[in-house]
Amino acid sequence: MSDFSKYIDNGKAIIPYGITAIGYCAFEGCTDLTSIEIPESVRTIDSYAFKDCTGLTSVEIPDGVFSIGESAFSGCSSLTCIEIPNSVFNIGDHAFENCSRLTNVEIPDSVDVIGGFAFFGCTGLTDIMIPDSVSKILMGAFGRCSGLSKITVAPNNPFFRVEENCLLDNTGELLYAGCKNSVIPDCVSKIAWHAFDGCTGLTSVEIPDGVTEIGLNVFRGCTGLTNVKIPNSVTRIMESAFSGCSSLTNIEIPNNVWDLMDRAFWGCSRLNKIKLPESVLKIGESAFEDCSELTSFEVPIKVKKVGYKSFKGCTGLKEIRVKERNPEIMASLLRFAEFSNINEISLYVPIGTGYAYRHNAFFAQFKEVIPIL
């Protein structure tokens, strides 16, 4: 147990004046801690200092503290408010991650860096203001802030701007974060990883022409998303880009996409229609896992890899269509896709290949093999 535990009495910690740092893991996991008095002598709150202090409800950080370390308050799920003084210049990675009851945070005009995932999972936050001083915001800083409805940037900040409730860099080309009321501006050519992660209130999105990839977890867990328009400029859909979008019923993948990465549509439980273009070369692991309402799928002719568990949990799947004439090649691609109801799926194959497919050990498991033109 940390030496700092000696300062706790009846749920309250009073740290004596003279202490300059609240050390690494100082109060980590102290679930009975409800309040704390931090003296003005403290200069740093180190990594994991209050991590998972689930009973902590409010914190006032005194002037003089200049750094809030990595995961310093992460998992403080009862924390409703925190005062950050004008002396703080760095908010570390994961600093307030999963502080789900935190409803208001005022970032002072001294902060230079907002770390990666700093406010990730702060579902109670409704608005965020980026002050003039901030020059760097790292990946996922406001991911999974499902209650976020408004993002603003101070007018004299030279590094960031806001358009249509989207946090952009000063050129407007890079979108850092969005919220449930966002509309992606036409000037955007790159969307940062986790930009809309967990925006459960987002219902429709149109990705502007010029964006070339939909990055890691960009729309993950957007459970209200029903409509997505992807431009022809997109060539890659990355890991978990749309995973958990449980209201999405159909999506059109444009002709230039060649890489559909792991878990791209995992858990899209209402997805019943998707057509992949012939440009697709790779379908990643678990790409369509648990898409339980998907009824039909056509394997593009140029595909070189179909990942492990790609169709696991697709219990509504009734037909698979292939254009490859060699059943051995197709079997090597689909063998580990894990069709959950393989004996209920009809396989449609090129005319003249029915006999070869029926006598292949893997495809013999299917309900039937049907040659088509």
**Model confidence at 344: pLDDT above 70:** yes
- What confidence tens digit (pLDDT) does each residue in 234-278 have? 999 999 999 999 999 999 999 999 999 999 999 999 999 899 999
Token pair recorded at residue 304: 């070189």
> For residue 191, what pLDDT band results from cuts at 50, 70 and 90?
very high
Phi, psi of 339 (to 5 degrees): -75, 115
- Round the average pLDDT of the chain to a whole number and report it: 96
Residue type at position 293: E
Nearest-CA neighbor of 142 among 163, 160, 119? 119
- What confidence tens digit (pLDDT) does each residue in 145-179 have? 999 999 999 999 999 999 999 999 999 999 999 99
- What confidence tens digit (pLDDT) does each residue in 266-300 have? 999 999 989 999 999 999 999 999 999 999 999 99
- C-alpha 68, offset from chain centre: 24
CA distance 259 to 43: 48
**Model confidence at 1: pLDDT above 70:** no
Q: What is the 3-state secondary structure (H, E, C) of the chain?
A: CCHHHHHEECCEEECCCCCCEECCCCCCCCCCCCEEECCCCCCEECCCCCCCCCCCCEEECCCCCCEECCCCCCCCCCCCEEECCCCCCEECCCCCCCCCCCCECCCCCCCCEECCCCCCCCCCCCEEEECCCCCEECCCCCCCCCCCCEEEECCCCCCEEEECCEEEECCCCEEEECCCCCCCCCCCCEECCCCCCCCCCCCEEECCCCCCEECCCCCCCCCCCCEEECCCCCCEECCCCCCCCCCCCEEECCCCCCEECCCCCCCCCCCCEEECCCCCCEECCCCCCCCCCCCEEECCCCCCEECCCCCCCCCCCCEEECCCCCHHHHHHHHCCCCCCCHHHCEEEEECCCHHHHHCCCCHHHCCEEEEEC
pLDDT value, residue 343: 96
Share of the chain above pLDDT 70, in %: 99
Share of the chain above pLDDT 90, in %: 94
CA distance 175 to 118: 17
- C-alpha 122, offset from chain centre: 14
Query: What is the fold, at CATH topology level, of the domain defined by 1-102?
Result: 3.80.10
> For residue 3, what pLDDT band results from cuts at 50, 70 and 90?
confident
Q: Which CATH architecture has domain 203-373?
A: Alpha-Beta Horseshoe (3.80)
- What confidence tens digit (pLDDT) does each residue in 222-232 have? 999 999 999 99
- C-alpha 34, offset from chain centre: 31
pLDDT value, residue 268: 98
> For residue 184, what pLDDT band results from cuts at 50, 70 and 90?
very high
Contact call for residues 69 and 49 (beta carbons, < 8 A):
yes
- C-alpha 345, offset from chain centre: 33
For CATH 3.80.10.10, the residue range(s) in the chain are: 1-102, 203-373
Rg (CA), the chain: 25
Contact call for residues 197 and 217 (beta carbons, < 8 A):
yes
Cβ neighbors of 6 (< 8 A, separation 6 or more) are none
pLDDT value, residue 6: 87
- What confidence tens digit (pLDDT) does each residue in 113-154 have? 999 999 999 999 999 999 999 999 999 999 999 999 999 999
pLDDT value, residue 2: 65
The mean pLDDT value for 179-197 works out to 97
Residue with tokens 């990643």: 284
More confidently predicted of 320 and 104: 320
The mean pLDDT value for 33-40 works out to 94
Contact call for residues 93 and 87 (beta carbons, < 8 A):
no
Contact call for residues 253 and 276 (beta carbons, < 8 A):
yes
**Model confidence at 5: pLDDT above 90:** no
Token pair recorded at residue 237: 């859909």
Cα dihedral 148/154/155/157 (nearest 10): -110
pLDDT value, residue 90: 97
Phi, psi of 7 (to 5 degrees): -85, -5
> For residue 4, what pLDDT band results from cuts at 50, 70 and 90?
confident
Contact call for residues 250 and 228 (beta carbons, < 8 A):
no
